[in-house]
Amino acid sequence: MTTNLRSQSGPYFGDFGGRYVPESLIAALDQLEATYKAAKADPTFAMELAELHRTYTGRPSIITEAKRFAASTGTDVRIFLKREDLNHTGSHKINNVLGQALLTKRMGKTRIIAETGAGQHGVASATAAALFGLECTVYMGEVDTERQALNVARMRLLGAEVIPVKTGSRTLKDAINEALRDWVANVDNTHYLLGTVAGPHPFPEMVRDFHSVIGIEARQQMLDEYGFLPTALAACVGGGSNAIGLFHAFLDDQDVAIYGFEAAGDGLDTPRHAATLTYGRPGVLHGARSYMLQDEDGQTMESHSISAGLDYPGVGPEHAWLKDLGRANYWGISDKEAMDAMLQLSRTEGIIPAIETSHALAGALKLAKELPAGSSILVNLSGRGDKDMETAGKYFGFIADTNAAPAGGSH
Amino acid sequence: MARKTTAQVLRENKDSGKGSLVGYFPAGYPSVEASIEAAVAMCENGVDVLELGVPYSDPVMDGPVIQAATLTALEQGFKLKQIFDVVRGVTERVDTPVLVMTYWNPVLQYGVDRFAADLAAAGGAGLITPDLIPDEANLWLTASDAHNLDRVFLAAPTSTETRFETAAKLSRGFVYAVSTMGITGARAELDALAQKVVGGVRKADPAQLTCVGIGISTAEQVAEVNGYADGAIVGSAFVKAYAEGGIEALKAEVQALASNLAR
Ligand SMILES: Cc1ncc(COP(=O)(O)O)c(C=O)c1O
């Protein structure tokens, strides 16, 4: 196997990636790529971003050992949590948003647009827009505006315009379509602040770089505080940004196994899931070649997950590459397994995770039972669960569900 | 066979001072049979080159009118292989060159060479590929050469000189000049940007043809565009006419939009 996976950059990750977009967007992608390259070579950019992370995001985020949670597996496997939930705005999404907001300034653009599923990326974008004095429009599937209503209110409070998207499956995929349409029309003053490691080059590489701080910090923290690297990494995978952020620093550590957990929705034995890497095929969606859920005609299929942030039929091209190389493993976690893990972490550690993140936690519980004694798992705790209280409250019956039935998913 | 190529039709119209109208209609809308009837009617009433759209789940270049129509086609159960039935249904009845406009993933999943072979066998002229730039088009360049098909790439107001050159060099049939920064849909006024794009293509290759699309909805605009380009592409206006008044309204709209072109 290649031993230099960390140095891989876009536009292609093996057979994946590229720029499958209308010609009208090429100039903007070229400008973004050039601006990003220049910023990368400019030490003041790194300093500016690091300073923002220190004084605004609250980095470095800590590592917490989840002893009681780990004990519930009945094994001696230790579980560590990289606490991205403690970042300002409550998830990893801010890492990427601040980086791209600085680039927006450098490009002299005055408006950002963003897509959002769970609302976390939308909230982070609205936050950065407020901080930097930018106009902000967030596209969000109508279904998601309902199941993440709290985040809609947060974005509007922050001064962003939230546009519910009523086309297609009315979830994340369609929000991206609308954002792309807006971008094509307004590209001269608008930056599309894409929220995950999908999309056309340079997004997968650039968004990964902005999130790689997660793994860089975590690797050093493990060595400094515990004196070893974990046996395995665990992260949830929607588009794949928090996962690649954790994984990247460890890609060339051959002894560290890598696991990404996708949403299996109602279960992998049903068609209602979002397990793109497990059940998808390579194809082109939203500007890149990667795995995707599609029918035999290449029409994108609707994904299903209780978690809005994982409810996406595509995935970033670098994950597709890592899967095909065999460097990373991708498993499906059902809605039920995720919700059980959410309850479990809340009650054993006093930490309420996002439903997205709960997929990684459920994965870690499964993995613990397969790893040899004495192993350790580092989980990316990508976000906190406050935004999910309505869904969780109904799911667990803590609050009345006027629409009957458990699961809380809107479709 | 007597069928002329896209470039031949456009060039003859240009040389005789007529100008050309390229008309879009979605295959499978509102049904496979009805879309054949609509497309044939367009060809019989003034459209010089036909553009049949493949309904797709994620049409990022399309505005609300075309999105609604293609969604209807998908909801009616349109299957990709039916595009060849529609192409054949039209080419059996009229001599108009028939291009297929498709997002890239359906072609990729069908198999690029297989798609090209089946399109050629159905009498199709080639493809317009809105989300495939020449940089990513190797498979398509090979397949379109092998099956002697047109390949229409896009040029935009923001394209660089190098990109105009690539689009001009690799396109066959014509270059699709995007008149405005935006998605399909009628616009009250055409951007001066359209002229800039046409100029960019002309400068890159004076022998290449270029048609202007996106936002054209009136007879005046069709005539205006033909003043500096080799054809005007109209989509949403035709789909809207059909949606509101059926095939008779569509015929009337085609006649109206072609009315300022000398015949
Ligand atoms: C807390 C949290 N984790 C994970 C995700 C999934 O995104 P990604 O796979 O890009 O990390 C989201 C997306 O909304 C999220 O809010």
Q: What is the interface pTM, i.e. ipTM, of the complex?
A: 0.95
Give yes or no for B189 touching A (CB within 8 A).
no
Residues of A in contact with B153 (CB under 8 A): 23
User: For B208-217, how does the pLDDT look when each residue is reduced to its tens digit (9 = 90+)?
Assistant: 999 999 889 9
Q: Indicate the residue of B60, B107, B132 with minimum beta-carbon distance to A180.
A: B60
Going through A167-269 in order, the beta strands assigned E by DSSP cover 190-192, 232-236, 257-265
Catalytic residues of A: 93, 115, 382
pLDDT surpassing 50 at residue B186: yes
User: For A112-150, how does the pLDDT look when each residue is reduced to its tens digit (9 = 90+)?
Assistant: 999 999 899 999 999 999 999 999 999 999 999 998 899
Distance between A74 CA and the closest CA of chain B, angstroms: 46
Nearest by Cα to B67 from B263, B240, B256: B240
Q: B6-258 is classed in which CATH architecture?
A: Alpha-Beta Barrel (3.20)
Going through chain B in order, the beta strands assigned E by DSSP cover 21-26, 49-53, 98-101, 126-128, 150-152, 154-155, 175-178, 210-213, 232-234
Helix (H) or strand (E) holding B238: helix B236-258
pLDDT of residue A402: 65
Distance between B45 CA and the closest CA of chain A, angstroms: 31
Give yes or no for A180 touching B (CB within 8 A).
yes
Q: Whose CA is nearest to atom 14 of ligand 1?
A: A309
| CA dist., res. A266 & res. A406, Å (int) | 12
pLDDT of residue A342: 98
The whole-number average pLDDT for the span B227-255 is 97
Q: Sign of the CA dihedral B231, B236, B239, B242?
A: negative
Give yes or no for B181 touching A (CB within 8 A).
yes
The whole-number average pLDDT for the span B158-170 is 97
pTM of the model: 0.95
Distance between A177 CA and the closest CA of chain B, angstroms: 6
Query: Which ranges of chain A have pLDDT less than 70?
Result: 1-2, 402-411
Q: What residue of A is the nearest CA neighbor of B57?
A: A299
Instruction: Please list the residues that pair with B234 across neighbouring strands.
Output: B23
pLDDT of residue A407: 45
Of the candidates B62, B224, B230, B253, the residue annotated as catalytic is: B62
Give yes or no for A163 touching B (CB within 8 A).
no
Q: How far apart are the first and last CA of chain B?
A: 24
Q: Sign of the CA dihedral A23, A27, A30, A32?
A: negative
**Preferred mutation among B54, B181, B184, B212 to probe A, highest tally of A CBs within 10 A:** B181
Look at A298 and B80 and tell me if their CB atoms are within 8 Å.
yes
Going through B174-225 in order, the beta strands assigned E by DSSP cover 175-178, 210-213
Q: Is B248 a catalytic residue?
A: no
CA B205 vs CA A22, A390, B6: distances in Å: 21, 60, 18
Look at A20 and B61 and tell me if their CB atoms are within 8 Å.
no
Sequence letter at residue A286: H
Residues 6+ apart with CB under 8 A from A268: A275, A278, A279, A332, A334
pLDDT band at B263 (very low <50, low <70, confident <90, very high): low
Cβ atoms of residues A308 and A118 within 8 Å: yes
